[in-house]
Amino acid sequence: MALEAKPEEFPFLEPSVLRKAAVVCHRNADADAYLSAYALSTLIGALAPGCEVHIATPGGMTTLTQKLSAKFPHRIAEGSGGDYDLYVAVDVGDEELLNEWKEKFRASPGVKVLVDHHPHRGGDLYGHAIVEEAATSAAEVVCGLFERKGVTPDPQTAQALLEAMLFDSSHLAIAGPSGLRAAVKLIDAGADLALARRELRSEPDYGEVLAKLKGAQRITIFRAGTWVVATSHVGSFQAHVARSLIYLGADLGLVGGESDGETRVSLRATQRLHEATGVKLGSQVAEEMAKRLGGHGGGHATAASFSTPTAEEDTVQATLKRLEELLGELKKLD
């Protein structure tokens, strides 16, 4: 079990001996992961000026992140060469999402820190964990670290953090008081809100549009009491389609898909459903299903996913059974 660390003790080793650090994002880095890593790199640079910092993006980045990384460029770690004194995993959630870096963490004698807003599920991979589940982005946790270390982010870093925060908080719509306060501080530090909004806008991705429209065509509707549950299946973009089901008005969306012999299921729920029923999709559905069917998964109360080698149809049926345990009988609508 990682120690719940005191943020003011970051980076948990004497800055003067810190020569090389790696900040590692979750697989297919999103804007929150990459830009939080970018900001952590400046923080490490401010605390340990001689330190060389690499960012690692196992399995690459999303299209939007690629665009943002051109504006916030950073040295990217190549392959698995070299060892580091300090490893910081950021926005990772499930440690499986570190890909080959998980083994690198294990094998290295360096200091390993987790900075995250996803719940940390034990394990001994990290020596120190700075986790704030109430934060709506990893960037918000990183902002707190800057503050606790008495470092003011430079305008470019403030911009990166604000964009990460907007990206992960539906443009602050779901941010809490501390997220809003952090956003204002970043603006005071030189970040431009209008620019951040513009830069997060991306060209529609044809594959994503197609997946969402096909997903809508294939909807099956269930009711559990007054709750509306919608399911669908697509080969990719399951998370986007699940979110679309919520936009269309479902209280809970479940989207399955099979690729490379693996079934992926994404789940989304409204805040209203979570508050009224107490159901947490991450711990009570995604993690539970991964345990029952083999595989891995997790997430937040209203957004979660899992993958399993079990066939898609069996997986979806078993997940609907699990939802019945939590919400009551599901009646299929014709």
In 3-state terms the chain splits into helix, strand, coil percentages (rounded to 5) of 45, 20, 35
Alpha-carbon distance of 191 to 281, in angstroms, equals: 34
Site string for Mn ion, 56-95 (x = CB under 5 A): -----------------------------------x----
Only one of the segments 31-39, 95-103, 127-135, 310-318 lies at the binding site for Mn ion (rule: CB under 5 A); that segment is: 31-39
Count helices and strands (H / E) in the chain.
12, 13
Please state the closest distance from residue 287 (CB atom) to Mn ion, in A: 18
Please state the closest distance from residue 20 (CB atom) to Mn ion, in A: 25
The reply to whether 32 sits near Mn ion by the rule CB under 5 A is yes
Please state the closest distance from residue 168 (CB atom) to Mn ion, in A: 4
Only one of the segments 26-34, 51-59, 199-207, 256-264 lies at the binding site for Mn ion (rule: CB under 5 A); that segment is: 26-34
The reply to whether 140 sits near Mn ion by the rule CB under 5 A is no
Only one of the segments 105-113, 160-168, 172-180, 284-292 lies at the binding site for Mn ion (rule: CB under 5 A); that segment is: 160-168
| Residue closer to Mn ion (CB basis): 91 or 163 | 91
Q: Which of 95, 168, 251, 288 binds Mn ion (CB under 5 A)?
A: 168
| Residue closer to Mn ion (CB basis): 136 or 157 | 136
Token readout for 275 is 């508050």
Token readout for 291 is 């345990």
Residue 220 Cα distances to 248, 252, 314, angstroms: 13, 12, 16
The reply to whether 251 sits near Mn ion by the rule CB under 5 A is no
Which residue's C-beta sits nearest to Mn ion?
A: 32
Only one of the segments 28-36, 75-83, 230-238, 251-259 lies at the binding site for Mn ion (rule: CB under 5 A); that segment is: 28-36
Q: Which residues contact 285 (CB under 8 A, 6 or more apart)?
A: 267, 279, 304, 319, 322, 323, 326
| Residue closer to Mn ion (CB basis): 212 or 300 | 300
Kindly provide the residue ranges of all beta strands, DSSP E only, lying in 193-244, ordered along the sequence.
Answer: 220-224, 227-233
| Kind and range of the H or E run holding 267 | strand 262-269
Please state the closest distance from residue 162 (CB atom) to Mn ion, in A: 14
| Residue closer to Mn ion (CB basis): 22 or 31 | 31
Please state the closest distance from residue 30 (CB atom) to Mn ion, in A: 7
Site string for Mn ion, 120-139 (x = CB under 5 A): ------------------x-
Alpha-carbon distance of 225 to 42, in angstroms, equals: 51
Please state the closest distance from residue 26 (CB atom) to Mn ion, in A: 8
Using an 8 Å Cβ cutoff, are 175 and 169 in contact?
yes
Q: Which residues contact 105 (CB under 8 A, 6 or more apart)?
A: 87, 89, 98, 112, 125, 126
Q: Applying CB under 5 A, what is the total number of residues that bind Mn ion?
A: 4
Q: Which residues contact 324 (CB under 8 A, 6 or more apart)?
A: 224, 330
Q: Identify the three-state secondary structure at position 258.
A: strand
Residues at the contact surface with Mn ion, assessed by CB under 5 A: 32, 91, 138, 168
